[in-house]
Structure 1
Amino acid sequence: MANDSTSGTGRPELRVLRQDEWSIWYDSLMRTFGGVPEAADERELWDSLTEPDRSLGAWDGDACVGTAGVFSFRLTVPGGASVRAAGVTMVSVAATHRRRGVLTSMMRRQLDDVRDWGWPLAVLTASEPEIYGRFGYGIGTFQVSAEIDTTRVRLSVPPGTDDVRLRYAVPADVLDACEAVYARKVSGRPGMLARQPGWERLGLLDPQSEREGASPLQCVLAERGSEVVGYARFQVKPDWDAEGAKGTVRVRDVQGLDPAAEAALWRFLFDIDLTSTVKTYARPMDEAWQYQVSDIRRCAVRVRDALHVRLVDVGAALEARTYQAPVDVVLEVEDAFCPWNAGRWRLSGDAKGASCERTTEAADLSLSVRELAAAYLGGVSLEALGGAGRVRELRQGALAEVSVGFGSAVAPWLPHGF
C-alpha cells in the first residue's frame, strides 16, 4: 500500500528503521491512511512481516513523519523464473510535512538500496496511481472484480468437473494443503509471488470489524482421489427481503490445479443455498469463469490497476525473462530517476532465454523505463503503448515484432496485496 501526503520548514532526517521504533512508525502510517485502528492480529502480522533493515523512516525530532518499507519478494516473470523483487510498501508522508521532498527522498534512497542489493525489480500497489509514474513505475498488471447475479447466471463447466469432490474444512487446519496448491501455481503465471515464511498467514486474516455482517472465513477443499487439487476461501453474508433469501458470497481466494478443479469450486460458490450474488475481487484478467458464464453482462465486471513495476536494473531484468517470439532489438531507454539505466540496450531473446547488454548500435525503439516496466510482465502491449504515443518506432516493423515477443500466453496477476 502506498500514499503520498508530502508544510513547515526544514527536511526531516531519513534513516533505516530500528525494531524498537516500529510501533511509532506504523502508527504514523495508519494515521496517514485515515487513523482507523487495525485488529490486534492484523497489526501483529504486519509487525512480524516488516523487515526493519529494509525499511525507512523520516523523523522530525521524535515524530515519525514518513514511512517506506520493502518486502523481500520473489516474483514470477514470463518463462517461469522467480526473480528477486523489492515489494515497496507502507509508504506515507504525514499531512503536516507535505511538499517538502520527503517522498522523493525516500524513493531515491530506496531505489539506490535495491540496486545495491542486486535486485533487478521493484514493485508496489498504489493507493494513488498517479504518484509513482514519476519514479519510473509502470502499471504491469490489472485485475478483475465482479458482482455476479447467480439467480440469472449459470456456468458451463468442462469435462471432469463432476469427478472433483468438495468438502468443508477449517481454514487454519488445511493451511498447509492450500499453500501446497498455491506453490504449484506460482511458476505458471507472471506476477505471482512465491510465498515467503509468514505470508501464508495473510490468507487467514479475518478481522470481525471488516466482515460487515458476513460469516467468519470459510474454506472448501477440492479433491481428486486422495489429492487436494484446489481450494476456495470465502464468507457468506446472509440477507432477506419480502421475496426471500438474497445472501452474498464474498470470495477471498480460489485456486485450482486444473480447469475441472477450478470449475468445481466456482460452481459451488455460485450454488450456495440462500444466496443470490457472488462478489469476487482482484482476480486474473483471463480467469476461466468469465468464459463459462451464461451472461457476462450480469456479472458487473470491473477492471483496475494492480501491480506497478519498476525496472531497477534494465539489463538484468530483461535477461531474467523469456520471450514468446524471438526478439533482437536495440532499445533507447530514458530513465531520469535512475540514470544508470539510461541509454541503448541490445536485447536478444526467445523462449529459451535472453541477453541484454549495452550497445552503441542505432536504436530500433525509444521509450522510457516506465513503458518498459508496464510491458515487462506481458500484460500490456508495447504496440498499444506505441499507439498511445509512449513508444517511438525508429526501425519500421520493430514495434510489432518486439510487442509479440514481450507478450504472455496467460495474463499476469498479483494474487494478494502487500
Structure 2
Amino acid sequence: MTSHHPDLSVRPLAAEEWDGWFRVLELAFGGSEEEPQQRELWRELTEVDRALVVCDGDRPVGGCSAYSFRMAVPGGAVLPVAGVTMVGVLPTHRRRGALTALMRRQLDDVRGRGEALAVLTASEPPIYGRFGYGHATSRLGFTLPRGRVAVHQPAGPEVRLRLADPREALPACEELYAGLVPLRPGMLERRPGWEALAVLDAPGGRGGHSPQMCVLAEDPAGGRLLGYARYAIRPDSDDAGPAGVVRVDDVEATHPAVYARLWAYLLDLDLTSTVTVRTRPVDDPLVHLVSDPRRIVPKQRDGLFVRLVEVAAALEQRGYATPLDVVLEVTDGFCPWNAGRWRLSSAGPGAGASCVWTDSAADLRLDVRELGAAYLGGSTLAALARAGLVEEVREGALAEASRAFASDVAPWLPHGF
C-alpha cells in the first residue's frame, strides 16, 4: 500500500530482515540499543507475520508489529486482541504520512484476522487518538517509607514465606497469575514465551539494583502457592544510616490476607528506607491496608489504549453490569465500517449482548475513541459526557449506559509489550 508520499510504501516484514528492522525502530525511539538479552527476547516474541515495514524506495524507515494476545474484559470473558507494538518512523521521514499508512494497513489486517479489538501502550498518547484509540486503563505507582506505615493484616490463611530463585519459581507463579486474569479487565493471558518477560533481568538494565529476588507465600501444610512478590534492592546510605531502595516488580496473591502479608514483608526489609512500585491498579488494596495513607506518594499514569476494530462484535463480547437498551451513534473517521447507529441491548450480568445496525433515532452520540475509553470500565460514559465527549440525545440514556458499561474492578495492564 502506498502512503500519502509517493516514495513511501508499506509491506510485510521478511524474517531475515528482523535485525535491520529492529535497529530502525531503536533509532526511531532515540537510538539506544537494547541489552543483548532483551533484544533476543523481543526477537523470539516477534510474530513476523504480523510485522510491517515502511520503506523509502528499498530502504526501511519505520515499522510496526502486533502480538496475538488474549485479554480479559468486563464479565470475565478473555478475548483475542491485537497488541500493537514497535510503532516508529525515523525522524528524517516524519510528517510524510508513513505512520498513517502503517496504521491503515495494520487495522485492515487486524480486521481480516477477525480480531474485534486492538490495544497498545503509547509512548506519546496524542498520536493515537486520531486513529481511534481511547485511553482505557490507568496505572498507579507508589513510593512508601519503610518503618513509617504498618500494613493491616486481615483474617485469612496462614502462610509461610520462602525465598526462591525467580526462574525456578516461574511455573508456579505463572499458574497463579493465569487464575487471576479473568478477574480483572485489561489483564493479558501470557502466551508461551511471554513468561520470560517477568523475570528478564539483564545485568546492564538493573540500574544499580541487585539481581531480581522472589518471595513465595505458601500454605504451610501442603506447600501450595498462595502468592508471590518479585523485587530488587538498590543499596544506599546517608548520614542516618542504611537507605536502600526496594523496587517491587510484581505482587500477586489469591487472598487479601496473603497480599497484605507480602506487602508487610516488602516494607520491612533490612538496610532499606524506601519501597517503590511502578504499576498497580488504581483500586489497589494497598491504599486501604496501610496505617497512614498520607505516607503513600502516588503517581497515576496512562496504561492501555483500546481501539474497537469491529464495533458490533466488540460490544457483544463483553458483559454489562446492568440491563440496557440504547442506540449509539458512532463516528469513526479511520475505520468507516464502524460509523453509524448501533442498537446495543443486554439483560445484564451473564445474559450476553446484542449489537446490530439500526436506523432508529440515536440515544447517545460519541466517537469510537470514547467507546474504546469506556470499553473496559475504566472511564465512565458519564465522565466522558461531562468532558463534552459523549452527547446524550435521549434523556436517561447516559445514566443507563454508563451504569451498564461500568466495572466493579478497575481495569489494569500488568506489564507492557
Offset, 1:198: 0.4
Structure 1 segment 129-278 matched on structure 2, within 5 A: 129-160=125-156, 163-224=158-219, 225=221, 226-278=223-275
Change in Cα spacing, 1:105 to 1:35, as seen in structure 2 (3 Å) is same
Q: In structure 2, the residue corresponding to 1:213 is in which secondary structure?
A: coil
Structure 1 segment 55-134 matched on structure 2, within 5 A: 55-134=51-130
Q: Which amino acid aligns with 1:48?
A: E
Q: Which amino acid aligns with 1:110?
A: Q
Structure 1 segment 257-336 matched on structure 2, within 5 A: 257-336=254-333
Q: CA separation in 1, counterparts of 2:21 and 2:190?
A: 25
Please say if residues 156 and 255 of structure 2, whose CA atoms lie closer than 8 Å, have aligned partners that are also in contact: no
2:14 to 2, 18, 21: 18
Q: In structure 2, the residue corresponding to 1:187 is in which secondary structure?
A: helix
Please say if residues 35 and 205 of structure 2, whose CA atoms lie closer than 8 Å, have aligned partners that are also in contact: no
Please say if residues 230 and 250 of structure 2, whose CA atoms lie closer than 8 Å, have aligned partners that are also in contact: yes
Q: CA separation in 2, counterparts of 1:241 and 1:167?
A: 30
1:53 to 49, 55, 62: 49
Could you report, residue by residue, the CA deviation over 1:257-305 in whole angstroms, capped at 9, with x for unpaired residues? 1111111111110111111111001111111111111222221101010
Q: In structure 2, the residue corresponding to 1:104 is in which secondary structure?
A: helix
Q: CA separation in 1, counterparts of 2:30 and 2:149?
A: 38
- Identical columns (%): 56
Q: In structure 1, the residue corresponding to 2:183 is in which secondary structure?
A: coil
Please say if residues 149 and 291 of structure 2, whose CA atoms lie closer than 8 Å, have aligned partners that are also in contact: yes
Could you report, residue by residue, the CA deviation over 1:364-418 in whole angstroms, capped at 9, with x for unpaired residues? 1000000011000001010000001000000101101110110001000001000
Matched residues, number: 411
Q: CA separation in 1, counterparts of 2:104 and 2:208?
A: 43
Aligned to 1:32: 28
Q: CA separation in 2, counterparts of 1:407 and 1:97?
A: 41
Could you report, residue by residue, the CA deviation over 1:89-131 in whole angstroms, capped at 9, with x for unpaired residues? 0000001101110000000011011111110000000000000
Residue 408 of structure 1 pairs with residue 407 of structure 2: yes
Q: CA separation in 2, counterparts of 1:50 and 1:220?
A: 31
Could you report, residue by residue, the CA deviation over 1:180-238 in whole angstroms, capped at 9, with x for unpaired residues? 01000000000000110000000011122221211000001111132101111100111
Please say if residues 139 and 305 of structure 1, whose CA atoms lie closer than 8 Å, have aligned partners that are also in contact: yes
Q: In structure 2, the residue corresponding to 1:304 is in which secondary structure?
A: strand
Stretches (4+) displaced over 4 A? none
Please say if residues 144 and 285 of structure 1, whose CA atoms lie closer than 8 Å, have aligned partners that are also in contact: yes
Q: CA separation in 1, counterparts of 2:146 and 2:7?
A: 55
Aligned to 1:3: none
Offset, 1:37: 1.6
Q: CA separation in 1, counterparts of 2:21 and 2:55?
A: 9
Q: CA separation in 2, counterparts of 1:355 and 1:270?
A: 48
Q: Which amino acid aligns with 2:374?
A: A
Q: Which amino acid aligns with 2:349?
A: A
Q: CA separation in 1, counterparts of 2:12 and 2:271?
A: 52
Q: In structure 2, the residue corresponding to 1:379 is in which secondary structure?
A: coil
Aligned to 1:357: 356
Offset, 1:61: 3.6
Q: CA separation in 2, counterparts of 1:311 and 1:140?
A: 11
* CA RMSD of superposed structures (Å): 1.3
Please say if residues 252 and 281 of structure 1, whose CA atoms lie closer than 8 Å, have aligned partners that are also in contact: yes
Q: CA separation in 1, counterparts of 2:259 and 2:60?
A: 46
Please say if residues 147 and 268 of structure 2, whose CA atoms lie closer than 8 Å, have aligned partners that are also in contact: no
Please say if residues 25 and 64 of structure 1, whose CA atoms lie closer than 8 Å, have aligned partners that are also in contact: yes
Could you report, residue by residue, the CA deviation over 1:314-350 in whole angstroms, capped at 9, with x for unpaired residues? 0000000110111111100000100000000011111
Instruction: Give the TM-score, by structure 2 length.
Output: 0.97
Please say if residues 280 and 414 of structure 2, whose CA atoms lie closer than 8 Å, have aligned partners that are also in contact: yes
Q: CA separation in 2, counterparts of 1:62 and 1:11?
A: 10
Instruction: Give the TM-score, by structure 1 length.
Output: 0.96
Q: CA separation in 2, counterparts of 1:176 and 1:45?
A: 18
Offset, 1:361: 1.0
Please say if residues 226 and 255 of structure 2, whose CA atoms lie closer than 8 Å, have aligned partners that are also in contact: yes
Please say if residues 164 and 260 of structure 1, whose CA atoms lie closer than 8 Å, have aligned partners that are also in contact: no
**Between 27-36 and 113-122, the greater mean CA deviation after superposition:** 27-36
Q: Which amino acid aligns with 2:39?
A: R
Q: CA separation in 2, counterparts of 1:196 and 1:321?
A: 21
Q: CA separation in 2, counterparts of 1:357 and 1:249?
A: 51
